[in-house]
Amino acid sequence: MSHTEPTDAYPEPMAFGRRGGAVGRRPSLTRLLGDGSRSVSFEFFPPKDADAEDVLWGALFQLEELDPSFVSITYGAGGTTRDRTVDITSSIQRRTTLTTIAHLTCVGSSRDELHDVIDEYAAAGIENVLALRGDPAGGLGTAWVAHADGLNHAVELVELLRERGGFCVGVAAFPNGHPESTSLDQDARVLADKQRAGAEFAITQFFFRSADWFRLRDRAAAAGCDMPIIPGIMPLTSVTQIERFARLSGVEFPAEVAARFEGIEDDPVAVRERGVEIATELCAELLEGGAPGLHFYTLNRSTATREVYRNLMSNPHLIRH
């Protein structure tokens, strides 16, 4: 497919679940994900300081122009960004037309504390929550230790949110398997359990090969899970950064992908261009294969994500219903 810059002649990308609404008229995420169109969404993390907040808002306003289906805001381990997650998510709803999803994890929180956060979300008008167990407090590879009065599994958090009512609940999925799963099939059964508990959609951890998502989709279907599983995409803009993220998350950085950066590792412009090319190819393969949408991990930047999006818009075949 072409990787050239788009022109004004490109078709209007309505097949990507565009909301077409204004402030105060956000459609429900349940409807957006259930109407048969493909979603496109972006993930951000709460900024640590004023300068980082300026960068975040710059990226948000630029990506808002693409009219995404939703944006999601992460939640730090042990609730370390709890207040910032609530503040930023509610601010996005006040200052933009964007539909938002707030993350919530079990790490370091009692049931009462989780109830408090859920009530804060509800009071802020947040209607969509991504329910995650979260990584162990000691990092990947260390033992998971739940709070003495807390939850052990994401499925319990889904149930807690459903008991509270009023939320559209999403969960995580893992194309390469959760690090603590005994097998890929067992991992798919857990995903099906989350749906039975009340989850309405899943967003995957980032991955590098479309075949990994297709196999996850098939395993999930065999386990009785039929909710949308949205692929998580992280455009490669720095080889060392992606290798670090892959190690931290337990995701394999395939040799065939690494090989495409050989000889250009010290050229940031060439690396970013190659990363956009690879991400575009991955997204195209996923859409061709029936993926229900795309969720971009932006790292609070917009340029690479916008370029991938525009590349996809240049191919009318990919964006049809």
Residue 118, H or E segment: helix 111-123
- Whether 175 and 210 have beta carbons less than 8 Å apart is answered as no
Residue of 5, 12, 43, 65 marked catalytic: 43
Tokens for 176, please give them.
């390469």
Active-site residue flag, 43 = yes
Residue 225, H or E segment: none
Torsional class of 104: left (φ above 0), alpha (ψ -120 to 50), beta (otherwise): beta
Rg, the chain, Cα only = 19
Give the closest residue to 162 by CA, choosing from 103, 113, 217, 118: 118
d(CA 171, CA 164): 17
Question: What are the C-alpha distances in Å from 182 to residues 77, 145, 187, 253, 265?
Answer: 24, 18, 8, 21, 36
- Whether 276 and 311 have beta carbons less than 8 Å apart is answered as yes
Spell 171-206 as b/e; 16+ CB within 10 A means b: bbbbbbbbeeeeebeebbbbbbbbbebbbbbbbbbb
Q: Which residues are catalytic?
A: 43
